Structure 1
Amino acid sequence: MRDLGVGFRYLLRGQRWVARHGRQYGFGLLPGLITLVLYAAALVALALWGQDLVGWATPFADDWSSPWLGLFRGFLTAVLFALALLLSVVTFTAVTLLIGQPFYESLSESVDRDVSPDGAAPESGLPVHQELWISARDSLRIVVRAALWGVLLFALGFVPVVGQTAVPVLGVFVTGFFLTEELTAVALQRRRVDLRDRLALLRARKTLIWGFGTPLALAFLVPFVAVFLMPGAVAGATLLARDLRGEEIAEGEPDGEQEPTSKGDAGW
């Protein structure tokens, strides 16, 4: 359980890092703002026409008497919007990272140099266009996995009691896992770690991943928060990636704090 606290501290340390690097933080807001406008437009459209979509998809209920017809379709509309919100949280990171790929690569490298004992940052050695292709391909694969989980959670939402209690909690943990995968991919791709191996690393340390990703998933549910947390989340995910790879994190923090490395925290 100690890994939960370690993961959360990485998230906080990432936010502190970008707070001291204002220029990089400012540029890091732009991709998130662009993505936010696109997603907000899609969610508003769903809110306006979601009930019509549900009505079109459930013609068998046209002859139901009141109030059952309204309750049934109203519930489906609410669940549909909740599913869209869940998917938007998961895919927001992927789209924002893709739009802001050059900046976030630079930010992640800077964090690596700050905390590396030798001041060096790993480099993939791949051309930019190939890095973009790998990032887009892997992001699409993660989005598909997240969508499958979303459909499953959507179906479980119809189960009485469980669907209104356990399923939302499970949804936050699932979202936190996929958010963390997308964020750590920035640093891990530079280390030439492919998607399958990245997922294996994350699954082996689920408690650490949830400590980082679950609070972030909850924060991302608040409008506009995701935009302001994205740069710091990338910075924190770089620290997390070093932990997952067993790389040393220098104890001398840029902010002057002395925090133990994750190996000591996690009891390695």
Structure 2
Amino acid sequence: MVNIQSLDPTASPLDYYGWELRRQREAHGLKQGQLGEIIFCTGSLIGQIETTKKVPTRDFSERVDAALGTDGLFSRLIGLVLRSQLPTWFQPYAEMEAKAAYISTFQAQLVYGLLQTEEYARAVLSVEHHSKPDEMVAARMERQRILRRDQPPALWVVLSEAALLLEIGGRDVMRRQLAHLLSFRENPWVNVQILPFSTGQHTGMMGTFNLLRFDDDPDLFYMDGYDQGHMTANPHVIKERSVGYARLQASALSPEDSAALIARVMEERYGDRLQPEERTVA
């Protein structure tokens, strides 16, 4: 007799997803392999997702909805599932980020998560989350969906010049990441400024931080920690950090000059060129 793993649909969003996938599949009289054939994957993958051994993707969810006629059920669930893969301490921030009308961030070393390419994100996340990089990357890509909404938040990003020079994932990954930053030049809701090294001391030396503003809720300040994040709506902190952020913006290059610097670094540091050992001798 086949041992069918029982799931508690109330245990987590992932457990509920797996339980519901099995229920819907069986209601349609399909075996795992049969459903797999319909949505172009293996029956084994269906089984792994049903038993929470594998985290589904948005593409998988959309194909299941189309195959089973579930009216977007799994496409709605996948957001909750992927968010649940984020570190527990980070989830409250991600929830507030998704509701914000205005996001301003200073990044001391890395490109902000909402503007990262998938391969850049994978290189960053694999350092600390090497046991489940696929799930963490999928969760980060899911966060970026807020920028594609009909009414996205206004996003203002100040990046230290270090974020352009710190080689994450290799030259090819960095070249594509900087090209991705430049792709936002025509986006009216996204502004990127570079804080050059020549600025010297500045109000972001305490490290990376974010400010979130909402239509109907108090502003929030957020700062990452090693194993937890710090988030507060303390008016004194909000005022202090808002002034500090305004000074960072004033010290940074304009969006136009920032784009020019990004393009120059992309070409000169990460552009296609012969390596020293590949150069021919005249």
Q: Which has the larger radius of gyration?
A: 2
TM-score by length of 1: 0.24
- Relative contact order higher in (CA < 8 Å, ≥ 6 apart): 1
Greater share of strand: 2
